[in-house]
Amino acid sequence: MSADAVGLCRRARERGLVSRWDGAPELGLVLVTGPDSAAFLQARLTSDVAALTPGQGQLSAKLTGRGELVGYFSLHRLPDLGQPFPSFFLLAPRSDLEYLRDDLASTLIGEEVLLEDVSTQFEAVLVQGPGVIPFVDGVVGNSQPVELQEYSLQVPVSPRADEGNGGRPADLLVLSRSFTGDPGRLLLWSAGSADGDFADRLLRVARKEGMALLDTEPDSLTAWRWLTVEAGWPAGGRDLEPGKVLLPRTGLEQQVVSSSKGCFPGQEVVARIRTYGSVPTALRGLVFSGGDFSLPSDIPPPGQDLVFAGKKIGTWGTAAWSVTMDRCVALAFIDRNHRTPGTLLDMQTDGGPVTAEVVLPPFFRAGDAREKARHLHEHAIHLFSGGRDEEAVVLLEEALRLDPGLQDAYEALGVILGRAERYIQAIDIFRRLEEVAPNEPMVHTNLSLFYMKIGDRDEAERQKAQATLKRFAEAGDPIEARALEEAATAARRDEARRKIEMFSAVLEIDPEDPLALMGMGNALADLQDYGRAAECLGNALRVQGDNSAVYAAYGKVLESLDKPADAADVYRRGVVVASRRGDLMPLKDMEHRLLMLDV
């Protein structure tokens, strides 16, 4: 492990860091402009672009129609500088920009919109850290407001005549964006517009302040990667293959999706996943401890299998040394059974046996961000009590962008959306809260209510039962909770045995009765006898190939037998049958299962 990289990270956390934007950060810009630019972006992106006023910005994303993440970025509406129509900057790592720009360009249908990578037309210096505000304020001549909202983009006012500008570019823009979890600014100006080398002046001042200076050397690139992992940001091309990873797997929904805007490509898929289930694997953090383990290089590279107890439970993301926690951390995509925060995983790595605790990213977030999130939550509750629900929704979304683990904000947002009869969105929010607070019975109580509102009685009853079980566990009565769960399981098994006896009698008379074969298969599945269940349901499908429900049941049994490819083939054939027959419930169910399989 590089001591120089560790030293750079320590200085960055203690004093801040500064770098040319084409150094370690390797950032770039796409300009989106033209008469139709605002409407074009509003229709394509996950965030509420129409809500932006000049100088405002937001984190946003572009999805495929199947809900897969093309890329995420910050979107900034340019200040009003006399241009005849709204113009926007899209800020992202340069390695992501070409694919992102080309994907957006491919969706143009006659709109008057210009999409241009303008990275080489600008110079910029990125500053991140606890002292960023006074540093930037001093460099630009006390002209920049101290309070600058995240993602906003402002033109500093002219300094006083006696201050001079020290070669400050006339077209300087100051953009607010945090990449490391600390407050951050990007100072941006047209290439060649500065009197003298303004960038060098910034670096000299930063050096005097004791800040970390990052360049393109390997230690700087390593330090930048570690700092961004600490901040919980998965990297495109390293952790995320563009256009291949479903948004709900990334943990970025709360950051990039607006609950108040209308449709966007992939929205229906994302909503269906959240409403009717969860993705097979989702992004989590791992914090390592124990033994002599200390090096991120001991962790397998991103994309490799993550193995626990001899079984694959996910894939690795990027590993890093956290100077805040003084230990190794990593991002990882982990399956449903092992991703609950607080779960301990004993694993074998190149560095020997290790124990890792599952946590929700980020590993680091500046204290003032959490304090601001709490303040926004309290203000939103005040607005909600006064009947100003939409304003409250905006503030709660911002609070969760600042602190994705703020449970009270999830609960308040879900309740407000439910009161507005936006039940699907409310379910989405409480599903996210379930990931944050897996032992909280209130989550399931609300989910039960909202599922009942959309007419899904079976899921409503299941959520109600979950709430009851967790309420007993919360009250410190695990024996009663376990007894209730065992009684419910016993009742289901008794009912399954009764059905097996009934359907066996029918099949003795007619071994190819399709309804009896389906009933027998479903009952065997309830008893977890998946091999015999698959045989019965396969025979039912052979006898009655136009029964949509049989395809759905057979596919689920194949999933339980760990045959995802076979299950996907059954679902695809079933979707064709259900579409032809107009069987909407099994159609939606099988479409959802296909998404969950991710094959």
Q: What is the pLDDT along the chain (599 residues), one digit of tens a residue?
A: 678 999 999 999 999 999 999 999 999 999 999 999 999 999 999 999 999 999 999 999 999 998 999 999 999 999 988 888 999 999 999 999 999 999 999 999 989 999 999 999 999 999 999 888 888 877 776 554 445 678 888 888 765 444 444 567 888 999 999 999 999 999 999 987 766 688 888 899 899 989 999 999 999 999 999 999 999 999 998 999 999 999 989 989 888 988 777 789 998 888 777 776 678 899 999 999 854 445 788 888 999 999 998 899 999 999 999 998 888 999 999 998 898 888 999 887 777 788 899 988 989 888 677 788 888 898 898 888 888 898 899 889 888 888 888 889 999 999 999 988 988 888 888 888 887 787 788 888 889 899 888 887 878 888 888 887 777 665 555 566 566 666 667 777 888 888 888 888 888 888 888 888 999 998 999 888 999 999 999 999 999 999 988 999 999 899 888 888 999 999 999 999 988 887 777 787 787 778 767 55
- Spatial separation of the C-alpha atoms in residues 299 and 354, rounded to whole Å: 10
pTM, entire model: 0.74
Buried b (16+ CB within 10 A) or exposed e, 423-439: bebbbbbbbbbbbbbee
Strand order in the sheet with 57-63: 57-63, 69-77, 88-93, 27-33, 114-117
Same domain? For 66 and 197 the reply is yes
Q: State pLDDT tens for residues 56-89.
A: 999 999 999 989 999 999 999 999 888 889 999 9
Please check whether residues 31 and 73 belong to one and the same domain: yes
Q: How far apart are CA 4 and CA 7, in angstroms?
A: 5
Shared-domain flag, residues 104 and 169: yes
Beta strands in 139-256 (DSSP E): 153-154, 173-176, 184-190, 212-214
> Does 254 fall in a domain?
no
Q: Which of 205, 254, 527 is nearest to 409 (CA)?
A: 254
Q: Provide the number of structural domains found in the chain.
A: 3
CATH code for position 186: 3.30.1360.120
440 lies in the same domain as 535: no
Cis bond before residue 362 (omega within 30° of 0): yes
Are residues 22 and 155 located together in one domain of the fold? yes
**pLDDT tens, position by position, 456-470:** 787 888 888 888 777
Exposed/middle/buried for 169, CB within 10 Å: 0-12, 13-18, 19+?
buried
Residue 328 domain flag:
no
Q: β-strand 281-289 against 327-335: which pairing, if any? A: antiparallel
Distance CA 162, CA 159 (A): 8
Mark which of 210, 229, 253 sits at the end of a domain: 210
**23 in a domain, yes or no?**
yes
Per-residue CA distances from 598 to 109, 253, 257, 455, 461 (Å): 30, 18, 21, 27, 28
In a domain, 485, yes or no: no
Nearest CA to 211 out of 9, 27, 47, 350 is that of 9
User: What's the CATH number where 562 sits?
Assistant: 1.25.40.10
β-pairing verdict for 352-359 and 344-349: antiparallel
Q: In terms of domains, do 149 and 191 share one?
A: yes
Would you say residue 451 lies in a domain? Answer: yes
Domain encompassing residue 420: 367-474
Within 8 A by CB and 6+ apart from 134, the residues are none
**Number of residues assigned to the chain:** 599
Distance CA 221, CA 203 (A): 17
β-bridge pairing 305-308 and 281-289: unpaired
Within this chain, do residues 556 and 412 fall inside the same structural domain, yes or no? Answer: no
Residues 24 and 111 in one domain: yes
User: Considering 210, 234, 251, which residue would you say is the last residue of a domain?
Assistant: 210
Q: Do 397 and 516 share a domain, yes or no?
A: no
| E-state strands within 309-386 | 311-322, 327-335, 344-349, 352-359
Q: Is there a contact between 400 and 254 (Cβ–Cβ < 8 Å)?
A: yes
Angle between helices 548-560 and 564-581 (to 10 degrees): 170
Q: 3-state secondary structure string, 515-547?
A: HHHHHHHHHHHHCCCHHHHHHHHHHHHHHCCCC
